[in-house]
């Protein structure tokens, strides 16, 4: 079975060959500068000690310090972390941020750990990678199954070790080593909303370029977690008709295909009460399941909507279902939700796909603003954060749109080539 890193390299080499980029330079760029493998012993509540395996892939730091999330997941592999660090290098270049790419991961199902065990694992990982991270070296952040609380433990451990070692660095700079921290703990107001907000900025720019009106566009959002929820909310605030949403347990839409815009804040409130969105058909201030239709996540992808927003898992649009996709626009808010094969098929059919390295770059943009805030010893308000993200994302979209026109190609290839041109110079 081909690993994800090999697949990613193959895809990038194919694009670089098509646009006559220096093959040797691209091949050299593709390999990470360093991959750290660590062992983290954690004493479990049953008295036994379990050793967890972790990784940190530092891919490329040509544009600035390495930057990338840390995921806690049972399926984490060295190859996955290497591939994700490569995509982070490209993503930071697309967003024109002063960062390189990195990614970290620990092979663990965090749901099986108590809070104390999770804290010990988080602090243990921070200790294990201490020597290779820092505000000017490598800046980790949350990713799959990690969150502000975990970042808070990690940065606390990092600051503690630095003080023990009598490191002569101001405390605000030490805190800049991690982003995605809680707002009250040197974090950024607006960081939680950043990824979803940035995706909607890109969608608005795209719709404008295509000469469409937002109020005529029906949107289905797969995934109602941090990214999908805020994407749905900001899309609704900007006049788009969000007519279907889903979480891991299923989806909800209107019963008779006469799609009405969902009341997103009410859907969220209902989900918190019921534990799932599939029982929450909420429109115009009222929740009434008799007028709604629960769906599977797979069925949501095949709805006759204008815009599809996969915000949860990778490869959800693939060889099996690509012929059933009816949307004319796909915004990749998850990492790699459209397989290579489906990408080629749908693009040939005229579907406009905004690639993940552009669409979801609002997250790393928010991280950049948090890092900047810490280094400058400032505190930005949420409105300031979102305004800065908007400016950066608009410019990024503009650059990629123009690159696509110049190269006579689609946005994915344009994004990759645009990033490589910056990174290979």
> Could you list the active site residues?
103
d(Cα 46, Cα 172) in Å, to the nearest integer?
38
37 Ramachandran zone, left/alpha/beta (phi>0; psi -120 to 50): beta
CA 339, 340, 343 angle in degrees (round to 5)? 85
Strands 138-142, 66-73: pairing kind: parallel
d(Cα 355, Cα 415) in Å, to the nearest integer?
8
Placement of tokens 């193959």 in the chain:
10
CA-based nearest residue to 133, from 66, 37, 72: 66
How many Cβ atoms from other residues are within 10 Å of residue 47's Cβ?
6
End-to-end CA distance of the chain: 34
Q: What are phi and psi of 177, to 5 degrees?
A: -70, -30
Placement of tokens 């344009």 in the chain:
414
191 Ramachandran zone, left/alpha/beta (phi>0; psi -120 to 50): alpha
190 Ramachandran zone, left/alpha/beta (phi>0; psi -120 to 50): left
d(Cα 148, Cα 143) in Å, to the nearest integer?
10
Instruction: Using CA atoms of 174, 175, 178, 179 in order, give the dihedral in degrees to the nearest 10.
Output: -150
The strand pairing partners of 49, in sequence order, are 43
Structure tokens at 271: 């989900």
């Amino acid at each position: 079975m081909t690993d994800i890193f090999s697949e990613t390299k193959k895809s990038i080499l194919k694009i670089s060959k098509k646009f006559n980029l220096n093959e040797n330079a691209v091949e050299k760029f593709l390999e990470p500068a360093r991959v750290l493998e660590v062992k983290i012993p954690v004493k479990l509540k049953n008295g036994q000690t379990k050793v967890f395996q972790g990784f940190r892939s530092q891919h490329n730091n040509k544009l600035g310090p390495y930057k990338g999330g840390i995921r806690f997941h049972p399926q984490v592999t060295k190859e996955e972390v290497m591939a994700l660090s490569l995509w982070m290098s490209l993503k930071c270049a697309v967003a024109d941020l002063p960062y390189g790419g990195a990614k970290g991961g620990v092979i663990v199902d965090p749901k099986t750990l108590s809070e104390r065990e999770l804290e010990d694992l988080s602090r243990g990982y921070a200790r294990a990678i201490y020597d290779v991270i820092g505000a000017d070296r490598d800046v980790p952040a949350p990713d799959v199954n990690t969150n502000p609380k975990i970042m808070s433990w990690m940065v606390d451990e990092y600051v503690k070790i630095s003080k023990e070692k009598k490191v002569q660095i101001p405390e605000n700079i030490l805190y800049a080593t991690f982003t995605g921290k809680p707002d009250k703990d040197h974090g950024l107001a607006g960081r939680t909303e950043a990824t979803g907000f940035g995706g909607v900025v890109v969608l608005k720019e795209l719709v404008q370029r295509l000469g469409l009106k937002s109020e005529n566009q029906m949107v289905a959002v797969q995934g109602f977690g941090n990214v999908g929820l805020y994407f749905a909310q900001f899309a609704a605030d900007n006049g788009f008709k969000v007519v279907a949403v889903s979480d891991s347990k299923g989806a909800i839409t209107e019963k008779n295909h006469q799609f009405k815009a969902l009341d997103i804040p009410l859907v969220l409130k209902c989900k918190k009460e019921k534990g799932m969105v599939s029982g929450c058909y909420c429109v115009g201030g009222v929740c009434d399941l008799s007028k709604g239709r629960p769906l599977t996540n797979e069925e949501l992808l095949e709805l006759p909507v204008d815009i599809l927003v996969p915000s949860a898992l990778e490869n959800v649009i693939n060889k099996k279902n690509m012929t059933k996709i009816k949307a004319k626009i796909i915004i990749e808010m998850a990492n790699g939700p459209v397989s290579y094969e489906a990408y080629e098929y749908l693009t040939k059919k005229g579907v406009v796909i905004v690639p993940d390295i552009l669409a979801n770059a609002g997250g790393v943009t928010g991280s950049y603003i948090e890092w900047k805030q810490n280094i400058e010893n400032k505190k930005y308000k949420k409105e300031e954060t979102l305004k800065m993200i908007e400016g950066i994302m608009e410019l990024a979209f503009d650059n990629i749109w123009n690159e696509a026109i110049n190269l006579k190609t689609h946005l994915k290839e344009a994004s990759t080539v645009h990033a490589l041109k910056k990174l290979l110079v």
